[in-house]
Structure 1
Amino acid sequence: MRENKNIYYRKRRGKRFFYVKNADGTNRIWELGKCLKEELKENDPVRVNIEFFIGLRNHVEHSIDNDKVLLKVTSPQAHACIINYEKNLIERFGREFSLRGQLRIPIFVSPLDPGHIREHRDLTKDLPKDIHDYLTGFKGGISPNVQRSSAYAYKLYLIPYSGNGNGPDMAVTFVKYESLTAEMKNHLSEISTNALEENAVVVVKSEVQEVSNRERFLPKAAAEIISGELKVKFGVNDFTVYRKYKQVGPVTGGSRVLMNNSKSFCFYDDAVNKCVYDRSFIDLAVKDLRKEGVYKKLFGKSAKDRGMCLDE
């Protein structure tokens, strides 16, 4: 909630307001659902995602026989909830409160033969009737735009492919949905529709159509983040000076050949045909450039004169 917001229930008696009391005499605080209504608009996917779990909590007992099935069929909403929480933490309190170092997206392993595909499709049949009815009823009550939002349910298309032979391959390559051509988007939509009907080598996790490279950035975006952290002007040319100092990134502009220290810091992204930089490298740059000696060595001027907060 916003700062200085009164989060207690009150009722009016004449011209005065009185706090509503709990059974133990304490003031009654707004429940989560009330906070959502005050903070977010009705069709905000973030709000709908949390409302989904509030309703689900009211239908689920503390122990049910098929809790593993429930975890599987609600995993897209759970992934979205964690990502929303992480984003909100950073926006409100700063990146130092990020959960990025503690949490990872789990990988669900399942054979892709027709029998197992049908089994996955029919999972909800094993749920208690009241929970099954809640899941189908909730989905039917929200708009298609909310259903398609990654803030409501987070989906991944996993498509196996062969390495290109140009250096080490990442186990998972993230591609922005918006970067695909119209033809590619249409083809992906066809795959989504037909994957559960055929013996396809595709795993469709849920009802969303967006996958983004959230923790890797092009040079311009990386420079903007560094500039914001250091509170000084820091452009792409400055970023290039720093990465070459650290021996990270392409040997020359546009090259696929990376310098010696690029491992885990810089990767060639085939989706955009450019090198992208991991958030860990950006964090390292911020830490280094807050040191007076490093900054002056690279840029020939004192960082203190530019108002930067320096580490000793």
Structure 2
Amino acid sequence: MAPRPRWYHQLQASKTEATLAVDLYNRSGTERQLEAFIVHMCMAWLKLLQSKVERDGGDLYIRNHRGQRQRSADGDWLHKPLATLLAEEFSDNDPRRVNLNFFVGLRNRIEHRYERDIAALIAGRTQAFLLNYEQTLVGMFGADQSLGENLRFPLFLSSITDDAAEALKALRKRVPKGVLEWVQDFDANLEPSINDDQRFDFRIYLVPYTGPKTEADAAMTFVRMDELTEDQRGKLDEVQTIIREKQVSVSSLGTLRPGEVVKRVQSQISWPFNMNHHTMAWRFYKVRPSSGADDKELTKSDFCRWNSTWRQYEYTEAWVAYLVRKLSDEQTYKEVMGVSDGGKDAPDATADLAASA
């Protein structure tokens, strides 16, 4: 039998890294599971992409302008880093790439005594991190290389009871402010379509199944939205509505009219902030579509939501806090309001800022 090519062994090393990442994440205790998961999953992705490039006859080396391979200070050949391989394989807005970039950035901001709280906060993105790897692995090398037979659904204790919403609120209060703000800033720069993509953040509704059990039943069954009929989607919408009404009272939704947002922000920053400024802010941060857009619900839901009953946009407390944090910085304020480049689109903002200086 002919020896296996080098890329095959690299592929097996990639799968070993992914399996180790899951084992470390699912172990009992609180000792740096999230950081270990991120490190080993990044290694798994690196080796996976290296395997594909090598199998396809591509170039793994960093080269100078003459096309010559470059060496490190130790004399070893320099290989393309993960960021470069990702850019060569996936587009900028591919949710898999965005998800991986999220974890690369988060790794340097983890505070270890709060690691379990941070892990719970981003559990959907963590699941997507693994699912993206598995789907890409199978897509590149075939179903016979899948990790499906090696990984099992874990047994767990988590906030899946009726008080889950309150538990999540309490958890957010424990996560360090710097980490929460970093996650919020990362999300604010995403297109709504990316933020809602399951490949970036894997979110599910758990509905206990109590009907007759058959031998073919599994503990969990995943249903793709694009495979549902219109009637089935309507039923799912009903379930989502029931869950929201049960867990979150109307008074706690915290939605605000634009005028209320303006008042709150103006009272907390040193620069003028009126309705015109607010319009420029939501346009700058792309939190909602333009007024004439067909799909009015395509918003950044952490900040803004379309109220189909009243036919208007409503904003959240998180949007107020975000604006206060961002616009308290004079340079950021000028950038958002278009002041630094002459303020062609916002003469009001330019005049107001000059008057307040």
TM-score (norm 2): 0.48
Query: What does 1:29-178 align with in structure 2 at a 5 Å threshold?
Result: 29-60=79-110, 64-106=112-154, 107-110=156-159, 112-114=161-163, 116-164=164-212, 170-178=218-226
Contact 1:89 1:98 in 2 (8 A): yes
Contact 2:114 2:175 in 1 (8 A): yes
Query: What does 1:176-191 align with in structure 2 at a 5 Å threshold?
Result: 176-182=224-230, 184-186=232-234, 188-189=236-237, 191=239
Q: Which runs of 5+ in 2 are unaligned?
A: 1-48, 249-357
The 1:160/1:54 distance shift into structure 2, 3 A limit, reads same
Q: What residue number does 1:295 align with? A: none
Contact 1:46 1:152 in 2 (8 A): yes
Q: Which runs of 5+ in 1 are unaligned?
A: 201-312
Deviation at residue 132 of structure 1 after TM alignment? 1.3
Residue 66 of structure 1 aligns to a residue in which SS? helix
Alignment partner of 1:8 out of 53, 57, 61: 61
Q: Structure 1 stretch 162-171 or stretch 73-82: which is displaced more?
A: 162-171
Contact 1:146 1:152 in 2 (8 A): yes
AA aligned to 1:135 is V
Deviation at residue 170 of structure 1 after TM alignment? 4.1
The 1:108/1:192 distance shift into structure 2, 3 A limit, reads farther
Higher helix share: 2
Deviation at residue 5 of structure 1 after TM alignment? 2.0
Contact 2:61 2:69 in 1 (8 A): yes
The 1:166/1:9 distance shift into structure 2, 3 A limit, reads closer
AA aligned to 2:101 is E
Deviation at residue 168 of structure 1 after TM alignment? 7.5
Contact 1:112 1:199 in 2 (8 A): no
Partners of 2:137 and 2:108 in 1: CA distance? 26
AA aligned to 1:50 is L
Taking only the aligned residue pairs, the percentage that are identical comes to 30
Residue 108 of structure 2 aligns to a residue in which SS? helix
2:69 is the alignment partner of 1:19: yes
- Output one character per residue of 1:199-252: Cα deviation in whole Å (capped at 9) or x when no partner: 48xxxxxxxxxxxxxxxxxxxxxxxxxxxxxxxxxxxxxxxxxxxxxxxxxxxx
Contact 1:118 1:196 in 2 (8 A): no
Deviation at residue 169 of structure 1 after TM alignment? 5.1
AA aligned to 1:151 is R
The 1:145/1:27 distance shift into structure 2, 3 A limit, reads same
* Matched residues, number: 194
Deviation at residue 158 of structure 1 after TM alignment? 0.7
- Output one character per residue of 1:21-71: Cα deviation in whole Å (capped at 9) or x when no partner: 32322222221111111111111111111111111122225xx11211122
Residue 80 of structure 2 aligns to a residue in which SS? coil
Contact 1:77 1:152 in 2 (8 A): yes
Contact 1:86 1:99 in 2 (8 A): yes
Residue 25 of structure 1 aligns to a residue in which SS? coil
Q: What residue number does 1:223 align with? A: none
Partners of 2:234 and 2:157 in 1: CA distance? 26
- Output one character per residue of 1:119-150: Cα deviation in whole Å (capped at 9) or x when no partner: 21342332222221121111111111112222
Partners of 2:92 and 2:216 in 1: CA distance? 46
Contact 1:117 1:196 in 2 (8 A): no
User: What is the RMSD computed on CA atoms of the aligned residues?
Assistant: 2.8
- Output one character per residue of 1:127-185: Cα deviation in whole Å (capped at 9) or x when no partner: 22222112111111111111222211212211124214777854333333234343543
